[in-house]
Chain A
Amino acid sequence: MAELDIKSILKESLPRVLKAIVWGALTFIIVYYLPMILYPTDLLPLDYATPLFDFAMIIVFFAVVGQLFSGTILGCGFGVAKAIVVIAYFFAVSDGGVFSVTLPISELTVNLAVDISIILLMIISVNLLNIVKNILEALVLLNEKSTNVVLT
Chain B
Amino acid sequence: MKIVIRMFSIASIILWIVIVFFSGTAVYSVMKLDIKYGEVQILPSSSGVDFSLPFSIANNGYYELADLNLTTRITDPKGAVFDVSETFVQSIPQGSKVFENHTISIDLDIIISMDHVHLLLNDSFFNAEIFANLNFARAVPVQLSTNATIPWGAPFAHFSIGTMSFSPHNNTHVETRIPVSFENHAVIDIKGTLKVEAYNDSNELIAYGKASVNAPSQQIYAGNLVLYAKQENVLKLTSSGKMRLIFETPAFVVEWWEQYG
Once the chains are docked, how many angstroms separate the CA of A139 from the CA of B60? Answer: 50
Instruction: State which of A110, A123, A136 has its C-beta within 8 Å of the C-beta of B8.
Output: A136
Across chains A and B, which 9 residue pairs bring their CB atoms closest together, nearest first? A133-B8, A126-B15, A115-B141, A113-B143, A110-B146, A111-B145, A129-B12, A108-B146, A118-B139
Once the chains are docked, how many angstroms separate the CA of A143 from the CA of B1? Answer: 11
Which chain A residues border B22 with CB–CB below 8 Å?
119
Once the chains are docked, how many angstroms separate the CA of A133 from the CA of B24? Answer: 27
CB distance from A112 to the nearest CB of B (A): 6
Nearest residue (CB) in A for B12 is A129
Contact in complex: B4, A136 (CB < 8 Å) = yes
Which chain A residues border B148 with CB–CB below 8 Å?
108
Once the chains are docked, how many angstroms separate the CA of A147 from the CA of B224? Answer: 113
Once the chains are docked, how many angstroms separate the CA of A115 from the CA of B148? Answer: 24
Q: Knowing A114-B140, A118-B139 touch, does A132 contact B8 (C-beta < 8 A)? A: yes
Question: What 0/1 readout, one digit per residue, does chain A (79-123) give for beta carbons within 8 Å of chain B?
Answer: 000000000000000000000000001001111111110110011
Chain A residues engaging chain B, CB cutoff 8 angstroms? 38-39, 43-44, 105, 108-116, 118-119, 122-123, 125-126, 129-130, 132-133, 136-137, 139-140, 143
A-B contact pairs, 14 of them (CB 8 A): A43-B31, A44-B27, A108-B148, A111-B144, A113-B144, A113-B145, A114-B142, A115-B141, A115-B142, A129-B12, A130-B12, A133-B9, A136-B1, A140-B2
Instruction: State which of B16, B19, B27 has its C-beta within 8 Å of the C-beta of A39.
Output: B27
- B18-63 at interface with A (beta carbon < 8 Å): 18-19, 22-24, 27, 30-31
Interface SS of chain A: helix
Contact in complex: A140, B1 (CB < 8 Å) = yes
Contact in complex: A110, B5 (CB < 8 Å) = no
User: How many residue-residue contacts, CB under 8 A, span A and B?
Assistant: 71
Q: Knowing A38-B24, A119-B140 touch, does A126 contact B5 (C-beta < 8 A)? A: no
Once the chains are docked, how many angstroms separate the CA of A108 from the CA of B1? Answer: 58
Once the chains are docked, how many angstroms separate the CA of A133 from the CA of B19? Answer: 19
Chain B residues engaging chain A, CB cutoff 8 angstroms? 1-2, 4-5, 8-9, 11-12, 15-16, 18-19, 22-24, 27, 30-31, 136, 139-148
CB distance from A1 to the nearest CB of B (A): 37
Instruction: State which of B5, B12, B136, B143 has its C-beta within 8 Å of the C-beta of A140.
Output: B5
Nearest residue (CB) in A for B133 is A113
Once the chains are docked, how many angstroms separate the CA of A132 from the CA of B4? Answer: 10
Nearest residue (CB) in B for A132 is B8
CB distance from B68 to the nearest CB of A (A): 15
Contact in complex: B19, A126 (CB < 8 Å) = yes
Nearest residue (CB) in A for B15 is A126
Which chain B residues border A125 with CB–CB below 8 Å?
15
Once the chains are docked, how many angstroms separate the CA of A140 from the CA of B144? Answer: 51
Once the chains are docked, how many angstroms separate the CA of A132 from the CA of B9? Answer: 10
Contact in complex: A139, B140 (CB < 8 Å) = no
Nearest residue (CB) in B for A122 is B19
CB distance from A129 to the nearest CB of B (A): 5
Q: Knowing A110-B146, A111-B145, A139-B1 touch, does A119 contact B23 (C-beta < 8 A)? A: yes
Nearest residue (CB) in B for A38 is B24
Instruction: State which of A116, A118, A126, A136 has its C-beta within 8 Å of the C-beta of B12.
Output: A126
Which chain B residues border A116 with CB–CB below 8 Å?
140
